[in-house]
Amino acid sequence: MDSLDLSIREHRMATATLTLRAQGLPLAHREVVVEQKRHQFLFGANWGESTLALVNGELSGREKELAEMRNEYFLRLFNQATLPFYWARFEPERGKPQTQRILNLAHWYVQHGCVVKGHPLCWHTLAPDWLLPLDNRAVLRLQIERIQREVTAFAGLVDCWDVVNEAVIMPLYDRYDNGLTRLCKEMGRIRLIGALFEAARAANPRATLLLNDFDLSPAYDILVEGCLTAGIPIDAIGIQSHMHQGYWGVERTQRILERFERLGLPIHFTETTLVSGDLMPSDIVDLNDYQVSEWPSTPAGEERQAREVVLHYKTLFAHPAVQAITWWDLSDGGWLNAPGGLLRRDQSPKPAYHELERLIKGEWWLPPTRMTTDSNGSLTLTGFLGDYELSLEGRKIPIALHEKGPLSIFLDLS
């Protein structure tokens, strides 16, 4: 067993003594079945345009069939989904948000047992063009109102949000004019972030609120530290890991984790990509500059992706500060037309999908297990943090292992 596996066992597993009683008497020498139902850790992926269209009844024929295949593979593996709230697409015409389409999508994922996250509430890229004629005061008011509207409307379905996306570069962004970069230049990052987090917190006090970025230079952890010093209620740090130019490797990933864990907040890897084709040239600074009409997956690339997926997920799962990993995109041909999916374009699974399934629903999962209580009505359960179900004589009793333990859980079945 290597050091990553040892760390995973240390930080992700719990041992609980379950004691079963009825009418005050121990249920001694009873056979039970214990089964894991879900991980506490969030293993997720982003929504997929085909799923959005399918849920809203907009597909038929082969497109519908492919979307249904994608959803089947999604639900076999993941317990978290990230939904699209890009303002320019969510509200392309001022006052006409696409709320119902995304509500339908959120309901679908929740009904299928997924935790749902919204991405993002504020992002200078994909800010609506109708902000441009407005002054900064109006832009700020509308951005705050937009946050209040979405966070309130989706409360109970979407209780986790990337509130501000890519703030490090926001005031410096010069690809095209947009209202949010102009606003950030005037207010400064910390003042703007503070106003937007305050609005999100007021709209849903129970929500988990993230600051999310791809810029992992010291500028980002300095920004997070400045926000925390200013009293901004950030709940978790979002880290993007788009590795189109090659896998970071274990050591680099661990160095990044060491830098951010000092801030004392949970870490979510919000956007993770490893490609299964040729790597993007290393001299590309902005990944969006690499635009190709064909970027195929290859057999050698798929084997490489599978090896790297295992190492990356084990490295993150082994670190106690990490609470979530989101894969981006589940199927090939998404962002940048990259072969970054765990599924090919025909929705068949790649080796990387099978390797993740082997970990998440194999090594890191307790299948139905028969156990027998002792003379005191007790048994010992060791498993990965999450939700379990105990079956006894036709009854099903939920069990939560949400702390590392050791735990003592008393179940009265009277």
Neighbouring C-beta atoms of residue 78, cutoff 10 Å: 25
CB contact at 8 A, 220 and 258: no
pLDDT, one tens digit per residue, over 376-389 is 999 999 999 999 99
Q: State how far the Cα of 317 lies from the Cα of 311, in Å rounded to an integer.
A: 10
49 in Cβ contact with 357 (< 8 Å): no
Distance from C-alpha of 81 to C-alpha of 359, rounded to nearest angstrom: 19
- Average pLDDT of the residues of the chain: 97
Helix (H) or strand (E) holding 68: helix 61-77
**Better-predicted residue by pLDDT, 24 or 189:** 189
Residues 265 and 408 in one domain: no
Write the pLDDT tens digit of every residue in 343-356.
999 999 999 999 99
Is 263 in the same domain as 375? no
Residue 180's pLDDT is 98
Region of residue 249 (left: phi > 0; alpha: psi -120 to 50; beta: else): left
The dihedrals phi and psi of 183, each to the nearest 5 degrees, come to: -65, -45
Q: Looking at residue 213, what is its pLDDT?
A: 98
Q: Of 40-44, 72-76, 401-405, where does mean pLDDT reach its minimum?
A: 401-405
Q: If DSSP codes are grouped into helix, strand and coil, which group holds residue 40?
A: coil
Q: Are residues 74 and 191 in the same domain?
A: yes
Last residue of a domain, one of 342, 363, 384: 363
Q: Looking at the structure, do residues 334 and 394 belong to the same domain, yes or no?
A: no
* 100 and 88 together in one domain: yes
Is 405's pLDDT higher than 90?
no
Same domain, 269 and 401: no
Residue 226: strand pairing partners? none
The CATH number that applies at residue 345 is 3.20.20.80
Number of domains in the chain: 2
Show the domain range for 222: 41-363
Band of pLDDT at residue 406, cut at 50, 70 and 90: confident
CATH, residue 22 = 2.60.40.1120
User: Collapsing DSSP states into helix, strand and coil, what is residue 95?
Assistant: coil
Q: Do 210 and 83 belong to one domain? A: yes
Same domain, 395 and 327: no
Q: Which of 32, 39, 4 is nearest to 401 (CA)?
A: 39
Residues 57 and 148 in one domain: yes
pLDDT, one tens digit per residue, over 101-153 is 999 999 999 999 999 999 999 999 999 999 999 999 999 999 999 999 999 99
From 216, 46, 193, 226, select the one nearest 123 (Cα to Cα). 193
Contacts of 360 (CB under 8 A, 6+ apart): 39, 43, 77
**How confident is the model at residue 291, as a pLDDT?**
87
Separation of alpha carbons 179 and 264, rounded Å: 33
Cα–Cα distances (Å) from 168 to 6, 8, 40, 220, 312, in that order, read: 36, 32, 31, 6, 25
Tell whether the model's pLDDT for residue 390 goes beyond 90: yes
User: Average pLDDT in the 42-53 region?
Assistant: 97
On whether the CB atoms of residues 380 and 26 are closer than 8 A, the answer is no
What is the rounded distance in angstroms from the CA atom of residue 328 to the CA atom of residue 338? 10
pLDDT above 80 for 77: yes
Same-domain status, 29 and 94:
no
Question: Closest by alpha carbon to 314, among 275, 371, 231, 257?
Answer: 257
Cis amide linkage into residue 120, ω under 30° from 0: yes
The answer to whether the CB of 123 falls within 8 A of the CB of 166 is yes
Q: Please say if the pLDDT value at position 273 is more than 90.
A: yes
pLDDT by residue (tens digit) across 81-96?
Answer: 999 999 999 999 999 9
CA distances from 211 to 36, 108, 157, 185, 353 (A): 32, 26, 20, 18, 28
Q: Do the Cβ atoms of 46 and 116 come closer than 8 Å?
A: no
Q: What are phi and psi of 412, to 5 degrees?
A: -95, 110
Contacts of 393 (CB under 8 A, 6+ apart): 30
Query: Mean pLDDT throughout 19-39?
Result: 96
Largest CA distance in the chain: 76
Q: In the prediction, which pLDDT does 1 show?
A: 67
Residue 348 DSSP class: P
Per-residue confidence (pLDDT) for residue 290, from 0 to 100: 93
Boundary residue ending a domain (328, 348, 363): 363
Q: Are residues 401 and 284 in the same domain?
A: no
What is the per-residue pLDDT across 302-321, written as a single tens digit (0 to 9) for each? 999 999 999 999 999 999 99
Q: Can you tell me the distance from the alpha carbon of 249 to that of 253, in angstroms, rounded to the nearest whole number?
A: 6
The answer to whether residue 272 scores a pLDDT higher than 90 is yes
Q: Are residues 105 and 140 in the same domain?
A: yes
